Structure 1
Amino acid sequence: MPHHLMNLRYVPDDEADEIRALFEEHGVRYYETPPSRWGISMGGFWVHDDDEAERARVLLEEYQRQRQDRQREEFQARQARGEVGFWHSFRRKPVTIIAACVAILVILAFTLAPFARLG
């Protein structure tokens, strides 16, 4: 009976490539289902037997723990350099940020206008 190891929805390409390489390196006999044309099904990694599924899950858990640590360290380094946050985004794309703020204010105005007239 097939065992679903991992859904590929929202998985970055580099992570999927690393998982393929991990499975190849450890000789995991897996197969991959492709995503559907309209995004209903995003594909995934599968194996056929129970023992292979258990071995693959152990490998995936360890890989994901290491990747999480790497990503956290990279984020903290970017944060220390000032490359994340509102002001960094504002410096990079001021027109987009201002347009989003104006859109929020317009939506709030239309939403609250009927209540402002009651008083």
Structure 2
Amino acid sequence: MAKLLFRLGNVPDAEAEEVRALLEARGFDTYETRAGFWGLGVAAIWLHDETQYEAAREVLDEYQRDLAERMRQERDNLVERGEAPTLWTRLRHAPVRMLLVAVAVAVILALTLLPFVWLID
């Protein structure tokens, strides 16, 4: 019976391609499902042979540890060079977007808290 190995929802295409290549290189028999037009399905990589699950999971866990380390190293390099994105750089580069986010947060807070404020009166 097939076993879910790796969910593809919100996974960048480059990472998904690396995972596919890694599993193929290690000889795991997998197949993919898509979420479908309405997004009701499960976009994932499935393992055909359930007995290979532990070995495949170890390979993926090692890959994810290495990926996390690479991402941390990349972030540290950006911080060292002073190129890491901060709130102020994002505000400078996309002021309208940041303003819309702030307005959205204020509206959500107002809608959440107004019923309680009205109870106090």
| TM-score, normalization by structure 1 | 0.80
Unaligned runs of 5+ in 1: none
Deviations 1:16-54 (Å, cap 9, x if unpaired)?
100111011111111111221111224111112233222
For 1:1-20, what per-residue CA distance to the aligned partner results, in whole angstroms no more than 9, with x for missing partners? 11111111111111110011
Where does the alignment leave 5 or more consecutive residues of structure 2 unmatched?
Answer: none
C-alpha distance after superposition, 1:36-77 (max 9, x if no partner): 111122411111223322221111011111011111111222
**Would the aligned equivalents of 2:35 and 2:43 in 1 still touch at CA under 8 Å?**
yes
Instruction: Tell me if the contact between 1:30 and 1:45 (Cα under 8 Å) persists in the aligned partners.
Output: yes
Count residues in correspondence: 118
Secondary structure in structure 2 of the residue aligned to 1:31: strand
> Which whole-Å CA distance do the structure 2 matches of 1:50 and 1:105 have between them?
49
How big is the shift at 1:104? Answer: 4.3
Equivalent position SS for 1:4: strand
Match in the other structure for 2:24: 24
Q: Identity of paired residues, percent?
A: 38
Partner residue in 2 for 1:52? 52
- SS of residue paired to 2:31: strand
Give the 3 Å change call, closer, same or farther, for CA 105–20 of structure 1 in structure 2: closer
**Cα distance in 1, alignment partners of residues 62 and 13 from structure 2:** 19
Root-mean-square deviation (Å)? 2.6
Given that 1:7 and 1:42 are in contact with CA atoms closer than 8 Å, whether structure 2 keeps it comes out as yes
1:39 maps to 2:39: yes
1:108 Cα deviation (Å)?
A: 5.5
- Pairs within 5 Å for 1:1-119: 1-80=1-80, 81-105=82-106, 115=117, 118=121
Matches of 1:8 and 1:23 in 2, distance apart?
14
